[in-house]
Structure formats: structure tokens, C-alpha cells
Amino acid sequence: MTFRRHCIKEAAEQVIKLKQHLPVQTLGCRTDRCGTTIRRDKIMWGMIATWRMAAEGVEKGAHMLAEGQNAGDAIETAIREVEDFPYYKSVGYGGLPNEEMEVELDAAYMDGDTLDIGAVAAVKDYANPVSIARRLSREKVNSMLVGEGAEKFAHKEGFERKNMLTDRAKAHYRNRVKEQRELELKPYSGHDTVGMVCLDSAGKVTAATSTSGLFMKKKGRVGDSPIAGSGFYADSKVGGASATGLGEDLMKGCISYEIVRLMKEGMHPQEACETAVNRLDAELKARRGEAGDLSLIAMNKDGEWGVATNIEGFSFAVVTEEKETQVYLVERQEDGHCTYAPASEEWMEEYMRTRMAPVVEK
């Protein structure tokens, strides 16, 4: 038998073996020693997101992915679910205002197949900024718009106008003003961006973010969330990452892109997240004496995922074709390694109880 015929025969046997025995999460394609490209039988879909607040959105996205829908539609639906829930104070409707008691929203969307990016920043009075961002991703130029320009575009495209400042948010604002005056508290707190990465069964990877940013921020302040490479990044050939935390520090490391770059070099998402977070945390402390909150999630093209943080209390939600939606709590070890465990029913109940409790003005 010639070497060429031997290679063809071995490749055929490999394909049959792959179809019969490989698990669902074995993905993409590879090249065997004969130089023959072998495609995997099936790609495992999945989605991962920052914070417990994303769980219901992730569950909705999972149903869409299970039906074979694409990662763009699934991630937009998932983010909108968070944006529309008025009891989450850092995203969309009910988001906490800036120092002038205005709700300014940032959002972004990235298509990992084409590398198209759309983003809006400091946009007011529109219900779902992530949908505006996704629409902008189809523009060859002018794909990131801010403030009045973003609002004019949204109006022209027929997006829903809505007063995003709720009575709860007004009460939080007045309480914080009083606390600042009486207790000398720092105004800036609350920066829990919802960031997601999604993989569909066709191998498409997307990333998206949405946030109202820092509570009591300066008018016009923009953090990392709508900035490609910092708040998010997606490449269907590799995977995607998204961030939450103090945007001013996350931007110093272009950290979402860095995680995707490390995955491209062969790191597992968990190792890539820990490496990027620990390096930036150490660099900021060495140069500036301190580091703000840095929390990252990632998923690669094989459906493998990872998380890392430099704070206590970080949570995330994840789902895959083989694993139901689960919320995890993250614990950072002294050496920078992050472990996680499923959130208990008691923790989940307390989370929602505190979020939905009445706001009493002081």
C-alpha cells in the first residue's frame, strides 16, 4: 500500500472513530500526521456571563441555542433580559444614575466570525442599548456612537424610547447624596457590568456587554464596557472574554483581548483568565500602589470556560449543551488561583430578597 493510500485509509478510519466515540465537547477540526484535516462531528454550544443577575438571561439564551439558533440572537436576548429587570441597579432600566441623576448607559456587541463591533456610550432614554450596539455592528464606519449621536441613530432606527430612571434609583441617589454629606463616603460604587460570551452549534462566538456604569459618575464618563479589547472581545477561531469591575483599571490592560490572545497561544480559559487578571493586578499595584476590581469570564471555541477575579463575592452563570444553567461563587486563593462552587438555594434566595427589598429613604 502506498503512503498516500495509507493516509487516506487512516483518515477515513479516524472520521468513523470520531463520529462513534468522541464526546460532544470535542470540537472544530484538526490535522492528523498525514496532513488530512478531520472535522469534528458536532460543536458544543454554551454561554457564560458575569454575575448572578445574568442567570435568567442565560437560561433564555440556552433555549435558543438548543434549538439551533445563532449566538448573536441568543446573546442579545440574554442581555436584554437583564436590561429589562428593574431590580438590578447597574444595568438598563433601574440602573443607578450619574451625579446629575441621569441614567447614562453603555453597551457593546462583537461578532467573532467577522470581528464586527458595535457600541454605544452615555446613551440616555433608550430601553435596550445592547440591541442598538448590535445594529451598529453592521455599519462599516460609525459603529461606535456616544451620547446625542447614539440617541439620534437609535431614534432613526426605531428603537424604543423609555425613561430609564426609576423611583427606586431616585431613592438610592438621594440616600447616597445624604451619605456623602454626612458620612463622607466616596460617591463611586456599583459597577457590576453584565458581560457575556456565547458559542453556538455552528461555531460562532459572540461577546456583549451592558451597564449603567459607576453610580454617581461624572456626566459623560465611559468605562471599559463599550471598549473593544477591554470590556469584551470575541474571535470564533479562538473564543471570547468579557469583563466587569473598575473600567478605568480594566482598560489599562486591554484585558479581554489579552485573555483571547492567551487562549490562542494554547491556554485553557481558566489559565488564561487567571494569568491575565493576576498580571494586571500585580502590575497596577507595583506601579500605582493599588488595583481596582477586576473580574473576567471566558469561553473558548471548544466550549471550555474559565473565570478569574481579584475580589471577594464575584459570581457568574454558565450553561453548556451538557450542563444546565448554574450560578457559581468564586473564591480567590492567596496564589491567585480561583476556585468556584455552586451557589446554594439559600444564597440565591437571599440575593433576590435583597435586590427586591423596598428602598427606604434616609
For residue 170, pLDDT beyond 70: yes
Whole-number pLDDT of residue 190: 59
What sign results for the dihedral spanned by CA atoms 144, 147, 152, 154?
Answer: positive
For residue 80 the three cell numbers come to 436584554
The predicted model gives 254-270 an average pLDDT of: 98
Whole-number pLDDT of residue 42: 67
For residue 68 the three cell numbers come to 439551533
Confidence of residue 303 (pLDDT cuts 50, 70, 90): very high
Q: Which residue type occupies 359?
A: V
Domains in the chain (CATH in brackets) are 3-39 (no CATH), 46-356 (3.60.20.30)
Average pLDDT of the chain is 89
For residue 101, pLDDT beyond 50: yes
**Residue listed under C-alpha cell 494554547:** 266
- 77, 166, 193, 244: the active-site residue: 193
How far apart, in Å, are the Cα atoms of 146 and each of 58, 153, 281, 345? 27, 10, 29, 40
The predicted model gives 236-255 an average pLDDT of: 98
Comparing 57 with 33, which gets the higher pLDDT?
Answer: 57
Whole-number pLDDT of residue 35: 42
Confidence of residue 111 (pLDDT cuts 50, 70, 90): very high
**Residue listed under C-alpha cell 490592560:** 253
Confidence of residue 182 (pLDDT cuts 50, 70, 90): confident
Nearest Cα residue to 243 out of 136, 110, 99: 110
For residue 337 the three cell numbers come to 488561583
Going by the DSSP 8-state scheme, the letter that residue 360 receives in this structure is P
CA–CA separation, 254 vs 230, rounded Å? Answer: 4
**Residue listed under C-alpha cell 441623576:** 101
CA–CA separation, 54 vs 327, rounded Å? Answer: 9
For residue 39, pLDDT beyond 50: no
Pairing of strands 144-146, 117-123: parallel
Q: Are 246 and 293 in contact (CB under 8 A)?
A: yes
Q: Are 275 and 267 in contact (CB under 8 A)?
A: yes
pLDDT tens, 306-339? 999 999 999 999 999 999 999 999 999 999 999 9
Whole-number pLDDT of residue 337: 98
Q: What's the predicted TM-score (pTM) here?
A: 0.88
Whole-number pLDDT of residue 187: 55
Q: Which residue type occupies 192?
A: D
DSSP class per residue in 210-240: EE--SBTPPTT---STTSBTTTEEEETTTEE
3-state class (DSSP) for residue 322: coil
Exposed/middle/buried for residue 193 (C-beta within 10 Å: 0-12, 13-18, 19+): buried
Q: Spell out the alpha helix ranges (H) of the chain.
A: 3-21, 55-66, 71-83, 129-136, 147-156, 167-183, 247-250, 255-264, 269-288, 345-356
Confidence of residue 186 (pLDDT cuts 50, 70, 90): low
193 included as an active-site residue: yes
The predicted model gives 119-135 an average pLDDT of: 98
| HSE-up of residue 139 (Cα within 13 Å, Cβ side) | 16
Q: Spell out the residues 6+ positions from residue 281 whose beta carbon is closer than 8 angstroms to its own.
A: 291, 294, 310, 336
Give me Rg for the CA atoms of the chain.
21
The predicted model gives 188-196 an average pLDDT of: 81
How far apart, in Å, are the Cα atoms of 283 and each of 2, 9, 223, 295? 57, 53, 20, 16
Q: Are 83 and 130 in contact (CB under 8 A)?
A: yes
